[in-house]
Chain A
Amino acid sequence: MSKALSYQDRLDRIREIKMIQTKEKQRIYGTDGYWDMDDKGLIAPPESFTFTPESDQDDGEYYGAKMTGLNYRKLLESHPVYINPMSSLAGGWMYSFYDIKKPKWDSRIDYSFLHELQEKYDLVHGIGGIQHFNVDIQMGLTLGFDGLLEKINKYEKLHGEDKKEFYQAERDVVLGMLDMIRRHAAAAKVMAETETREDIKENLLKMASVNEKLLISAPETFHEACQWVAWFILFAVMYDFNGAGGSIDKYLRPFYERDIKEGILTEEEAVFHLACLLVVDNAYYEIGGTYEDGRDRTNKLTYLVIEAAHRIRIPTSICLRVHDNMDKGVLELAVKYLFEDDMGTPSFLGHDAVVEGFMKNGYPIELARQREKTGCHWCALPGREYTLNDIVKISFLAVYDVAFKEVINDSEHSPSVERIWDSFVKHLSIAVDTIAAGMDFHLKHMHKVFPELMLNLLCHGPIEKGLDISNGGVEYYNLCVDGAGLATVADSFAAIKQRVEIEKRISWEKLKEVINNDFEGAENIRLMLKNIKRFGNGDSIGDEFAKRISETFTQLVKEKPTPEGRNMIPGLFSWANTIPFGKKIGASANGRHAHMPISHGANPDPGFSDGDTPTAMAKAVASVQCGYGNTAPLQLEFDPKIGATEEGIKLIVSFIESLFHMGGTLLNINLISKEKILEAHKDPSLYPELVVRVTGFSAYFASLSEEFRQLVVNRIVEG
């Protein structure tokens, strides 16, 4: 008989299987950008599997709670079983419910009154936006799936006929989930019957009993809790790409401590379950932080989560909250593994800055401390706050372009930088108002199109009130509005100011001409405009403009709520939009060629100085924070060599602390040498396992599109 596999052996097998699946996905969907986002745990389905949603409309589509609930239930009831016998957790996802649904909006709900301005400023307006808020997993662990069902039944009785459809839809979702769990429990048993390896057989039987238990009660053990979370994450990502995984070291802690005390769990086994959970899907988990009263919340599980990510060594999206009173050991361990594993994980959140910032919206500190980092760049209160995080964007470049053209084509007044600025502010203000009106519109109608049936279950209010979260189900509505392309526009203003106004090296006419012609035959002028002291140097005109833009944008977003009185929170972030935002706009005065991408997040443009040192980047990004609790992340590339020594790790730790002492909110670190990235860029298929931290998430380099790969390469090579 073969020797029993150790937990690490099993994790190694699981990673191998994942790599095979990843290569399979790269093969089926092409290496060229099948997945310009988080490396989701999606598994390619068997070819025999098909799913066709049912329609109650003449056009063959479906909208609203009833049909969405029915269809999702139907999907879950037909979804193939996936069990990896090496893992302690059952389940895998093969289908994207929302993604396949088209159209995404019911065209009878008309918002053409906003179209003109939305198009003029190329706004990503969030109408029809999904998820991007945070759920309360702790509540789910307390209730269990059967408890959720009871809760639905209980509140249904308190409401009238008008809510029947909503409750039926929520019930359908839970019934679908229970069916899928039931089928997995049964399948695990069947697999166990034919399994010859004793330890694996035992694992499958345990898996079956854990899942049978979850059908009838809330989880009690650590293993059951991990399986419960795994299911929730799977159902939610399948439903509409939800990636919010919550404070994992908080909600799993009671289970861990109880099991350890009772002697039914070892540390090693806990790490194993956690690692299996990380494989299920690359959800956004946060760890660390403080209790409501400000005491450090680091605990044994905080360490174990980091350990688990280290053992499994796949892309994960874990974020460690950093603050002065924290247990430093966990920060040092996180940095050590960041360098050792080269998976770009974890990211680091400036706890104090986001807490203090959120308070500025008028909330008490105790509440602010509960906001969890569960998205690419964002935080939200678990289950109590609707946010539209990361899906509402204003491209500063689009607005600037309108202003620039308005001034330069005005034959009656002579142009000046201040006139462009004034025009920029005027248009930015209209853009913000348009966004605000659009978000109100979204909140009025979204529940009729595609309600959050999955995430409602773990929120406080929707089930109680019979209202979708997008329709007033929860307590707090703090809507995220991000500005994008800060560096591109700051440097454009600065270039004109320096070269045209101060030094008078070129005339306004010449500027207009070269920009109109995309610098054709004027490379010299393009370089002249590009090689100014750009944003990032700290005391340059570029920095002045970057701060001015951030302050003005913040002011405009904060000066009034949406027309219907909802609070908005400004931030600076763009990743997925950097390419499309750039594509629409011609050349800009920072020397950017027509249709090239805008700058990433709040980062200075690569090559802003000789060497683009990390300290300069950190200071620059810290200096442009909007300051209301949403982030303006810093994306940094470090030479992997720095972390090779203990001394180097200490330096990085102190660097992280400095960033947050200066007011930084979020830090994503990528470790890759220029040589390696250039090699991989030549032929990505030779590097299927190379992981890069793209922004708030990590991904396989080979799975990104050519354009996105180019962006990552530019950052590393020019920076």
Chain B
Amino acid sequence: MEGIIFDIQRFSISDGPGIRTTVFLKGCSLKCIWCHNPESINSKKELQIVSHKCIGCGNCIAVCRNHGYEMIDEKKVYYKDRCQLCGECVSQCYSKSLQMSGKNMTVEEVMTEIRKDLTFYEDSNGGVTFSGGEPLLQSLFLKELLKKCQSEGIHTAVDTAGNVPFGSFMHIIDYTDLFLFDLKMMDREKHKKYTGAFNDLIHANLKKLVQLKKHVFIRIPVIPGINNSKEDMQKLIEFIKNLPIDLVELLPYHSLGGSKYESLAIPYELASLKTPTKEEMTEIGKWFKQANINVKVS
């Protein structure tokens, strides 16, 4: 069975306990404007062009059978519509100016990568985290991976935004040791505005998950001007405080993704946003503590 993966990161230390490997599955059902991994949103492969790395060797133009590139006024132009994503140009671009975002991989291929760090998982009580995009969009593939991991004694975590039918969760629920469940904000309209979807389904799914006594860490990205107000946070606290979850993690927004958007030629709306300060984060953390919520500020 194959899935589409856009990255596998070893020595991942902020996606669940211990030293982990995080497998990023491609495709997302939300479109958060602050997204760090824009290449994860589209569920298909995409060609990424990092122009400053190009050494002008001309290989790409020469190998493409679909006229994907043309020289216009001594500048190379890429025609997305003509491109069949065959990857030939990428394999001949030795400067790594061209990169394919997304790769079909079999369960066994992914497992080979995961197994590389077994010793580290054991010594650090770590394991593997499946993230995205939204990994549950590939729930059957995910299920196979999780099953395999569990049978090999590897701790499993799934990082989800929750915006999928609960049926998808049902596929994997028995094979997942820990859910990292992202919440953004309680306000329905605002949620729709910034992520492209209402949050009703997400909240319903979270409630069901905890009813089934699963271990859950809730993860909240703190984004200045979007959800960092006391009001927004209080609403989240109200919702969370009655749920039997293990931990809430507050993650400061980092402006990282801008240049990535550029290479994928999609507009990025938050280029000017600043990272919240440590003090701000600690202050927000206090609000959660006051409500007796086990909170961790990153």
Interface residues of A (CB under 8 A from B): 523-525, 527-528, 530-531, 538-539, 611, 613-616, 618-619, 642, 648, 650-651, 654-655, 657-658, 661-662
Contact = CB atoms under 8 A, between A and B. Distances in A.
A658 B118 CA distance: 9
A658 B11 contact: no
Contact of A538 (B96, B116, B124): B116
Given A613-B11, A651-B13, A658-B19, 12 more contacts: A524-B55, A524-B57, A524-B94, A530-B94, A539-B112, A539-B116, A613-B9, A614-B11, A648-B13, A651-B124, A658-B122, A658-B123
Given A527-B55, A527-B94, A531-B96, A654 B123 contact: yes
B76 to A, nearest CB: 15
B155 to A, nearest CB: 14
Smallest CB-CB A-B distances: 9 pairs: A654-B124, A527-B94, A613-B11, A524-B57, A528-B94, A613-B10, A654-B123, A658-B123, A615-B11
A530 B53 CA distance: 15
A213 to B, nearest CB: 49
B275 to A, nearest CB: 13
B19 A661 contact: no
A307 to B, nearest CB: 26
13 contacts: A524-B55, A524-B95, A527-B55, A527-B96, A538-B116, A648-B13, A654-B19, A655-B19, A655-B120, A655-B123, A658-B122, A661-B123, A662-B119
B18 interface: yes
A661 B119 contact: yes
Given A527-B94, A531-B94, A539-B112, A654 B120 contact: yes
Given A651-B124, A654-B124, A615 B19 contact: yes
Contacts of B116: 538-539, 615-616, 619
A611 B9 contact: yes
A470 B59 CA distance: 61
Interface in B215-244: none
Contacts of B18: 651, 654
B28 to A, nearest CB: 21
Contacts of A661: 119, 123
B2 interface: no
A658 B59 contact: no
A658 B119 CA distance: 6
Contacts of B9: 611, 613
Given A538-B116, A654-B18, A523 B55 contact: yes
Contacts of A618: 120
Contacts, number: 64
Contacts of A658: 19, 119-120, 122-124
Contacts of A614: 11
Interface of B: 9-11, 13, 18-19, 55, 57, 59, 94-96, 112, 116-117, 119-120, 122-125
B202 to A, nearest CB: 28
A705 B96 CA distance: 32
Most buried by A among B9, B96, B117, B119: B119
Nearest to A537: B116
A615 B119 CA distance: 10
A561 to B, nearest CB: 35
A654 B94 CA distance: 37
Contacts of B11: 613-616
Contacts of B119: 658, 661-662
Nearest to A524: B57
A615 B123 contact: no
Most buried by A among B9, B120, B125: B120
Contact of B124 (A525, A528, A616, A655): A655
A648 B18 CA distance: 9
A528 B9 CA distance: 24
A614 B10 CA distance: 8
A537 to B, nearest CB: 9
Given A619-B116, A658-B119, A527 B19 contact: no
A657 B96 CA distance: 35
A523 B119 CA distance: 39
Contacts of A538: 116
A655 B19 CA distance: 8
Given A523-B55, A527-B95, A651-B19, A642 B123 contact: no
Contacts of B10: 611, 613, 615-616
A524 B55 CA distance: 8
Contacts of B94: 524-525, 527-528, 530-531
B55 A615 contact: no
Contacts of B57: 523-524
A648 B57 CA distance: 44
A658 B126 CA distance: 12
B264 to A, nearest CB: 17
A524 B63 CA distance: 15
A712 to B, nearest CB: 21
A262 B214 CA distance: 59
Nearest to A661: B119
Most buried by A among B11, B19, B124: B11
B106 to A, nearest CB: 15
Contacts of A619: 116-117
B120 A615 contact: yes
A630 B10 CA distance: 29
B36 to A, nearest CB: 15
A439 B72 CA distance: 66
Nearest to A531: B94
A544 to B, nearest CB: 15
Contacts of A611: 9-10
A642 B12 CA distance: 11
Contacts of B59: 524
A642 B125 CA distance: 17
A266 to B, nearest CB: 37
Contacts of A615: 10-11, 19, 116-117, 120
A305 B7 CA distance: 44
B278 to A, nearest CB: 10
A661 B96 CA distance: 35
A680 to B, nearest CB: 24
Contacts of B96: 527, 531
Contacts of A616: 10-11, 116
A523 B117 CA distance: 35
A155 to B, nearest CB: 51
Contacts of B112: 539
A619 B21 CA distance: 14
Nearest to A532: B94
A619 B121 CA distance: 13
